[in-house]
Structure 1
Amino acid sequence: MQVLESVLQGFMADSHPLPSMGKAWVKRWSPKVQKGKGSLIHALSVTPPKAIESMAWSLPPSKSHAIRWLILAAQSEDETLIEGLEHAGQDIVSMRRCLAQMGVQFTDLDAQGRPLSGDTNHDDQPASGSVAWKVHGAGMKGLNPPVSVLHAGNSGTTLRLLMALVTQFDVPVMLDGDASLRSRRYAAMLDAMDQFGVQRSHGLDEEGLPLLLQGPVQSGRELALNIASSSQPLSAWFLAAPSLEHRVNLKQIGEPVSRRHSQLSLDLCVLTGAPTTLSDTLESWSVKVPNARVNLPRDASMLAFAFLAVAVTGTTVVIPERPLPEDSLGHEMLVDHAHAMGINVNDGTLSPHDSAQAIDLDLRDANDLITPVAALLALGSGGTLRGAAHAAHKESDRLKGSQDLLAQFGLKASLMEDGLEIAGGQQLQQPSGLVRTYGDHRMQMTALNLAMGCEGDVLIEGSSLHGVADLMAVKRWQEAGVSIDEILHSSS
Structure 2
Amino acid sequence: MGPLTGTIRVPGDKSISHRALMFGALAVGRTTISGLLEGHDVLATADALRAMGAKIERHSEGEWTVSGVGVGGLLQPKTALDMGNSGTSTRLLMGLVASHGITAAFTGDASLSGRPMGRVIEPLSRMGTSFEASPGGTLPLMMTGSLPAVPITYRLPVASAQVKSAILLAGLNTPGITTVIEPVPTRDHSERMLKGFGADLWVEETDGERVIHIRGEADLSPQNITVPGDPSSAAFFIVAALLVEGSDLTIENVGMNDTRAGLVSVLQLMGGNIELLNEREVGGEPVADLRVRHSQLRGIEVDSAIAPSMIDEFPVLFVAAALAKGTTITNGLEELRVKESDRLTAMAQALTLAGANVTETEDGLIIQGTNGKPLAGTTGEPVTTHLDHRIAMSMAVAGLVSSAGIEVDDTRPIATSFPIFEALLEQSTNA
1:76 to 27, 30, 48: 27
Residues 131-185 of structure 1 deviation map (CA, whole Å, 9 limit, x = unaligned): 2111111112322111111111111111001111112443431011111110011
Shift of 1:435: 0.9
Relative to 1, partners in 2 of residues 1:408 and 1:345: Cα closer, same or farther, differing over 3 Å? farther
* Larger radius of gyration between Structure 1 and Structure 2: 1
Distance 2:426 2:229 in 1: 22
Cα distance between partner residues in 1 of 2:45 and 2:138: 20
Q: Flag the 1:274–1:288 CA change in 2: closer, same or farther, 3 A.
A: same
| Equivalent pair of 2:201/2:213 in contact (CA under 8 Å) | no
Q: How far does residue 331 in structure 1 lie from its aligned partner after superposition? A: 1.9
Q: 1:57–1:317: 8 Å Cα contact kept in structure 2?
A: no
Aligned residue number for residue 247 of structure 1? 176
CA distance in 1: counterparts of 2:9 and 2:41, whole angstroms: 18
**Any stretches of 5+ residues in structure 2 without a counterpart?**
204-211, 278-289
Find the counterpart in structure 1 of residue 197 from structure 2: 272
C-alpha spacing 1:333/1:445, structure 2 compared with 1 (3 Å): closer
Map of 2:207 onto structure 1? none
Give the match for residue 359 of structure 1. Answer: 300
Separation (CA, whole Å) in 2 of partners of 1:231 and 1:476 = 29
Measured in 2, the distance between the counterparts of 1:64 and 1:183 equals: 21
Counterpart Cα distance in 1 of 2:34 and 2:178: 35
SS in 1 for 2:31: strand
Q: Is the 8 A contact 2:131 2:141 kept in 1?
A: yes
For the residues of structure 1 that align with 2:88 and 2:101, how far apart are their CA atoms?
A: 23
Return the alpha-carbon distance in structure 2 between the equivalents of residues 179 and 341 of structure 1.
39
Q: Determine the structure 1 residue equivalent to 2:283.
A: none
**2:25 and 2:66 in contact (8 A); partners too:** yes
Determine the C-alpha separation between the residues in 2 that align with 1:194 and 1:141: 18
1:412 paired residue number = 357
User: Using the alignment, how far apart are the partners of 1:231 and 1:371 within structure 2?
Assistant: 19
Larger RCO: 1 or 2 (CA < 8 Å, sep 6+): 1
Q: Which residues of structure 1 form unaligned runs of 5+?
A: 1-48, 111-129, 483-492
Does the 8 A contact of 1:311 with 1:379 survive in 2? no
Q: Is residue 393 from structure 1 mapped to residue 338 from structure 2 by the alignment?
A: yes
Task: Work out whether residues 274 and 284 of structure 1, in 8 Å CA contact, stay in contact via their aligned partners in 2.
Answer: no
Residues 375-417 of structure 1: CA deviation (Å, up to 9, x unaligned): 1011012422333222222111222222122112111222344
2:208 maps to: none
Segments ≥4 residues shifted beyond 6 Å:
none
* 1:230 aligned to which of 139, 157, 160: 160
Q: Amino acid of the residue matched to residue 272 of structure 1?
A: F
Name 1:376's counterpart in structure 2.
Answer: 320
The Cα of 1:247 is off from its aligned counterpart by 2.0
Q: How many residues align?
A: 403
CA contact (8 A) 1:68 1:239 kept: no
TM-score, normalization by structure 1: 0.75
CA distance in 2, matches of 1:219, 1:338: 46
Task: Please list, as runs of the form range in 1=range in 2, the aligned pairs for 1:266-345 lying within 5 A after superposition.
Answer: 266-277=191-202, 279-280=212-213, 282-289=215-222, 292-325=223-256, 327=257, 329-334=259-264, 337-338=267-268, 340-345=270-275
Which digits, 9 at most, give the CA deviation of each residue in 1:179-220, with x for residues without a partner? 111001112211123323322112115x71111001225555
Matched, 1:65 2:12: no
Query: Which aligned pairs between 1:12-23 and structure 2 lie closer than 5 A?
Result: none
Distance 1:319 1:199 in 2: 49
Structure 1 residue corresponding to 2:46, chosen from 87, 96, 100? 96
Distance 1:186 1:78 in 2: 32
- One-letter amino acid matched to 1:377: A
Separation (CA, whole Å) in 2 of partners of 1:334 and 1:251:
28
CA distance in 1, matches of 2:169, 2:154: 17
Change (3 A) 1:332 1:219: closer
Percent identity (aligned): 22
Residue 55 of structure 2 aligns with which residue? 105
State the TM-score, normalized to the length of structure 2: 0.85
Greater strand percent: which structure?
A: 2
Given that 1:63 and 1:469 are in contact with CA atoms closer than 8 Å, whether structure 2 keeps it comes out as: yes
Distance in 1 (CA, whole Å) between partners of 2:251 and 2:242 is 19
User: Does the C-alpha gap of structure 1 residues 387 and 330 become closer, same or farther in structure 2, counting only changes over 3 Å?
Assistant: farther
Q: Does 1:349 align with 2:282?
A: no
